[in-house]
Structure 1
Amino acid sequence: MTNRNYAIVGTGALGGFYGARLQKAGLEVNFLLRTDYDRVKKHGLTIESPEGDFTLPQVRAYRDADKMPQCDVVILALKTTQNHLLPKLLPTLLKDNGVVLVLQNGLNAEPQIAQIVGAERVIGGLCFLCSYKVSPGHICHIDYGTITLGEYAQDYKAIGITDRLRQIAEDFQLAEIPIEMSEDLLLSRWKKLVWNIPYNGLSVILNARTDELMANPDTLILVEEIMAEVIAAAKSCDRIIPDNFIPNMLEYTHKMKPYRTSMKIDYDESRPLEVEAIFGNPIRVAQKAGVKLPQIEVLYRMLKFVDVQRQEAERKRRLLDLL
C-alpha cells in the first residue's frame, strides 16, 4: 500500500467522486470543504455509481486549509473561476516535495499554478467523467471516469512519462479509476477541448443536453464545425490531432448517457461560468499564432453575455433576500 497522502481542493461532483474512490481503496485523503463541511463532517460521503454504490461514513473533512496536514499530492478540482484563492491555499497544503494535480477544464491552468508552486511541482489531468452533486456529500456518477495524466513543464514542453507520474497513476488504478498517461500534456488538453468547447458552450446557449445536441442534424453539423476549429487551433501550437478524432468523439458522445454538461449545471445553478478557461484562453492562443476561430468566438461572446446577465440576476436576488 502506498504511503502517499492526498488533499482534495474542491469536493464537488469531480473531486468528491475521485477522492472517495481513493479513500475507499485505503489511501489517506483529506477533503477541504466550504458550504458542505457540516454535512460531510457528520455523515461522510455517499457515491451512487453504475460501478457500485458506496458510503464513507467518516472522512477527513476540513473547513480551514491551515488545519489540514501537508500532502504529497494536492488534487485541484475547483472551478477555474475560483483560482484566485489558490495563492493562499496551495503553499499551505503541499509538502516540500509535493505536487499539485490540476484536474481543471480549459487551457493554461497549469502555468497559473506553476507561478504559485513552481513548474516542477505541477501535473495536469484531463477527466472524462459524467457526474453531478445531488446534495451536500452526495454525488451521482453517471458514466465514464478515465483520467489522462501528463507532466507539466514550462511552456507546455513535452517531457514524457516520469516515475512520479507512474506512481500516482498506480494509486488511482488501485482505486479502480481508469488512467491513461500522456507524453504531451498540451496535446491532451487540446484533445479535451475538442469535446469541451462545442458541448459546454452549445448546451448553455441552446439549453440542451448532449443527447439533444446529437439528435438534431443542424446542431450536429455545428458541433463538427466547432470541433474542426479546435483542431485548427491546436495545429497553431504545433499539436496535430488526427483526422479520425472528430468521428471518434461523436461516436463517444452518441454512446454517452443523456448528460447535462458541467457548464450547463453551473449556469442552471447561477454559478460563474468557466468562459475564459475553456473559450477565452484557446481563442487568445490561436489569435497569437494568426489563426481565427469565428464560430468559437461567437460562442465566447454569447457566453460572456449570458454569464454577466445570470450573475447580475443572482446578485439582485440575494439583495432582495436580505431585505
Structure 2
Amino acid sequence: MKILVVGAGAVGGYFGGRLLEKGEDVTFLVREGRKKQLEEMGLVIESIHGNVTLQPKTITTGEVAGPFDVILLSTKAYQLEGAIDSFRQYVGSETLILPLLNGIVHFNKLAEEFGEEKIIGGLCFIESTLDRDGRVIQSSQAHRLLYGERSGERSERILKIEDCFSGTKADIRLSVNINQELWHKYLFISTMSGITTLMRAPIGPIRDNENGRTVISQLLKELVSIMKRINAPIADEIETIQLKQIDNLGYQMKSSMQRDMEKNLLVEADHLQGHLLEIARNKGIVVPVLEAIYANLKVYERML
C-alpha cells in the first residue's frame, strides 16, 4: 500500500518511521524546512524500543505524487484546515484517511470535505517529541496506535491495512470498537491535559495531594456526565477505570498540552475542553472545574 504521512513530527515521524523501517511504501508530506532537514540528516528516531535512522521519501504540497491508499494525518487539531488543503490533491477515489488527532470533532470536518466513507477511526498513545535537531525522541513504553472502521466492521479494506501495519516495532493494532476507544481517549486526554495545565505540574504531585486528587476526580465526573448526556459510547465503569490509569502513570508524566505550554506553543483548548464545555452549556450541565480549566487555557492563549 502507498502511505502518505502528513507531517514528520513527533507522532507522524515515529509511526511513519516504524512503517518505513519495516519496508512499507511511505512518503512524508512536509514543509520545505523539514524536507531539507530530513534530506541532510535522515529521519532519526531515538526510542527505548530501538533507535533507527532512515532515508524517507518526502514531498511538499503541490508536488506531483499519489494518489495514496492511506493518508495518515498526525497534525495538531488547530492545524487541521491547513493540513486538509495541503493533502487534498493526493486523495484519490479509493484513498482512506486515518486521522490521529486528539478529540472527536475533526471527524465531522473531514467527512464534510472528503465524504464519510473515506474516513476511518484512529488514535494513538505515545510520549514523544522533536528535539532541536529534528530527531524524534520517544521516551516511554507507550507507543500504541489503534485504527478501525467506525462501524466496527472487519471490512476487506481494513484487513488490507492490518496486513500492511502489522509487524512493526510500534504497537499498532486493529480495533473493532474504535468509536468507544476514541471517546475513552477523549475523556482521558481532556482530564490529563486539563489538570496538568491548570496545576502547571506533572501528574504525580497533583495526584499525591489530597485536594489535587479531589479535583481530578471531580473533573472526570463532569466530563463523564457530559458524554453520557449525548449518549457517547463510553463504558459504564469508565470513571473508575480511568482513575486507576491515572494512578498508574509515572510520577513525572506530563500531558502533551502541558509540554506545548512550556514551549509557549498553541494548544488544543477549543478542540478538546472547549467542545465539551459547549455541550455542557447547551445541556445546562454545571461543570465548574471544566470552566476553570478552559478559562486557564484561553488566558494562556491570549498571552502568547
- Mapped to 2, the partners of 1:253 and 1:110 lie a distance apart of 27
Flag structure 2 segments of 5+ consecutive residues without an equivalent. none
> Would you say the 8 A contact 1:160–1:182 is kept in 2?
no
- Give me the whole-angstrom Cα distance separating, in 2, the residues matched to 1:298 and 1:16: 34
**Cα distance change, pair 174–302 in 1 and its aligned pair in 2 (3 A):** same
Please list the CA deviations of residues 270-295 of structure 1 after superposition, one character each: whole Å capped at 9, or x if unmatched: 22111111111122234444434332
C-alpha change, 1:236 and 1:86, in structure 2 (3 Å) is: same
| 1:246-298 deviation digits (Å, cap 9, x = unpaired) | 34333333433433321112212222111111111122234444434332122
Query: Does the 8 A contact of 1:198 with 1:227 survive in 2?
Result: yes
Q: Any stretches of 5+ residues in structure 1 without a counterpart?
A: 153-157, 311-323
Contact 1:74 1:101 (C-alpha < 8 Å) held by counterparts = yes
| 1:133 aligns to 2:103 (yes or no) | no
CA distance in 1, matches of 2:183, 2:259: 23
Q: Report the number of matched residues.
A: 301
- Give distance in 2, aligned partners of 1:170 and 1:255: 32
Q: TM-score, normalised by structure 2?
A: 0.90
Query: How far apart are the structure 2 equivalents of 1:93 and 1:271?
Result: 29
Q: Distance in 2 between matches of 1:125 and 1:227?
A: 23
Match among 262, 270, 273 for residue 264 of structure 2: 270
Q: 1:281 aligns with which of 275, 297, 303?
A: 275
Give the Cα separation in 2 of the matches to 1:136 and 1:120: 39
Match runs of 1:42-61 below 5 Å: 42-56=40-54, 58-61=55-58
Identical residues among aligned pairs (%): 24
**Which of 2, 6, 15 is residue 5 of structure 1 equivalent to?**
2
Q: Is the contact made by 2:146 and 2:175 (CA closer than 8 Å) also made in structure 1?
A: yes
Q: Is the 8 A contact 1:77 1:104 kept in 2?
A: yes
1:303 aligns with 2:293: no
Aligned match of 1:36: 34
1:95 aligns to 2:92 (yes or no)? yes
1:63 Cα deviation from its structure 2 partner: 3.0
> Does structure 1 conserve the Cα–Cα contact (< 8 Å) formed by 2:28 and 2:58?
yes
Q: State which of 190, 213, 219 in structure 1 corresponds to 2:212.
A: 219
**What's the CA shift string for 1:36-74, capped at 9, x where partnerless?**
221112211111111111111x11122335344321111
- Cα deviation, residue 184, structure 1: 4.6
Structure 2: distance between partners of 1:246 and 1:142: 27
* Structure 2 CA distance for aligned equivalents of residues 61 and 256 of structure 1: 36
Q: Distance in 2 between matches of 1:11 and 1:269?
A: 19
What amino acid is the match of 2:260? D
Secondary structure in 2 aligned to 1:238? coil
CA distance in 1, matches of 2:169, 2:228: 34
Alignment of 1:12-27 (within 5 A): 12-27=9-24
- Cα RMSD for the two superposed structures: 2.1
TM score, norm. by length of structure 1? 0.85
